[in-house]
């Protein structure tokens, strides 16, 4: 365990791999699951805001950030999901709310459907791959369109360091699997309250995909951030954190039984 004034790092041995999380703040737990090729340090802007009221775990999946991987692993979305479920158990975080960004959004959907006792609430920020399964080429083009809209400090040097750490091979295999993986069919099995956060300047995902996810997940509600890019957690951390905190406060007060009820009390 390595500690600094800005939080501390914890490595947990999971399925033969040392798995890292950066831990910020104090309070009820919240686990942040990153996007493809991303790393814990890319989520510190939103993590710091969320940590004002919670213990935030900025999780590094295997082969990402400071976590170990192995040759050819991970290569499938299910492997990311299974490892996350095992890490939650080993870390004593079973039933913690999960916050997933981009590919991380699809991972937490997959987990909530396949491991229904592992979480109590989901926050999916700009989730990719559902219900649309774009090719690797299409995903790459959309990400290139998004790049000029993002804060330069996200990409240099932190983003490039994260992508270099994951490696093109791992990122390509996971993107290829995402283009074929059918998480959409699992969405009706999700039984926990779900918040979907979208940005209206995000070229990576389409607004209609968020609407379809909302229709397929019971108790789901959507919030759209004006001017929001794909990396909403970095470009609009205050708005993302505010929606997330309000949502979790209501969930933990057991105020929510339907998506309509959540939509009424969680004002834009």
Please give the pLDDT value at position 261. Answer: 54
pTM of the model: 0.91
User: CA dist 224 to 102, 108, 202, 236, 268, Å?
Assistant: 15, 20, 11, 11, 8
Quick: pLDDT tens for 137-196: 887 888 887 777 888 888 888 888 999 999 999 999 998 888 777 788 899 999 999 999
In this model, does residue 257 exceed pLDDT 50? no
Please give the pLDDT value at position 205. Answer: 87
Residue 265: strand, helix, or coil? helix
User: CA dist 1 to 86, 136, 165, 239, Å?
Assistant: 19, 37, 21, 31
* Contact residues for 125 (Cβ-Cβ < 8 A; gap 6+): 99, 100, 101, 102, 105, 197, 232, 233, 240
Domain 2-256 is classified in which CATH homologous superfamily? Alpha/Beta hydrolase fold, catalytic domain (3.40.50.1820)
Structural tokens at position 210: 């968020």
Please give the pLDDT value at position 138. Answer: 81
Residue 264: strand, helix, or coil? helix
Please give the pLDDT value at position 112. Answer: 97
Q: Confirm if 157 and 51 have CB atoms less than 8 A apart.
A: no
* Contact residues for 161 (Cβ-Cβ < 8 A; gap 6+): 39
Quick: pLDDT tens for 85-122: 999 999 999 899 999 999 999 999 999 999 999 999 99
Give the whole-angstrom CA distance, residue 96 versus residue 189.
18
- Grade residue 263 by pLDDT with cuts at 50, 70 and 90: low
Structural tokens at position 171: 């990122």
Please give the pLDDT value at position 3. Answer: 44
Structural tokens at position 231: 């990396």
Q: Confirm if 124 and 98 have CB atoms less than 8 A apart.
A: no
Q: Confirm if 53 and 27 have CB atoms less than 8 A apart.
A: yes
Please give the pLDDT value at position 108. Answer: 98
Give the whole-angstrom CA distance, residue 101 versus residue 14.
22
Please give the pLDDT value at position 266. Answer: 59
Kindly state the average pLDDT of the residues 13-24: 97
């Amino acid at each position: 365990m390595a500690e600094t004034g800005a939080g501390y790092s914890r490595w947990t041995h999971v399925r033969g791999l040392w798995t890292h999380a950066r831990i910020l703040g104090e309070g009820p737990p919240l686990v942040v699951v990153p996007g493809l090729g991303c790393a814990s340090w890319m989520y510190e802007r939103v993590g710091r805001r969320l940590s004002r009221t919670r213990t935030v775990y900025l999780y590094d999946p295997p082969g990402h950030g400071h976590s170990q991987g192995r040759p050819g692993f991970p290569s499938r979305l299910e492997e990311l999901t299974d490892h996350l479920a095992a890490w939650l158990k080993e870390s004593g975080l079973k039933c913690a709310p999960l916050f997933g960004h981009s590919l991380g959004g699809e991972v937490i959907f997959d987990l909530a459907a396949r491991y229904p006792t592992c979480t109590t609430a989901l926050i999916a920020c700009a989730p990719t791959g559902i219900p649309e399964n774009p090719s690797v080429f299409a995903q790459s083009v959309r990400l290139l369109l998004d790049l000029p809209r993002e804060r330069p400090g996200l990409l240099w040097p932190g983003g490039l360091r994260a992508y270099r750490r994951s490696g093109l091979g791992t990122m390509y295999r996971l993107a290829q699997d995402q283009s074929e993986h059918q998480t959409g069919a699992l969405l009706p099995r999700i039984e926990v309250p779900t918040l979907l956060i979208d940005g209206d300047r995000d070229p990576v995902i389409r607004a209609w995909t968020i609407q379809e996810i909302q229709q397929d997940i019971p108790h789901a509600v959507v919030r759209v951030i004006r001017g929001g890019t794909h990396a909403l957690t970095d470009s609009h951390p205050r708005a993302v954190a505010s929606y997330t905190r309000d949502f979790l406060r209501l969930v933990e007060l057991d105020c929510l039984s339907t998506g309509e009820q959540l939509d009424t009390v969680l004002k834009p």
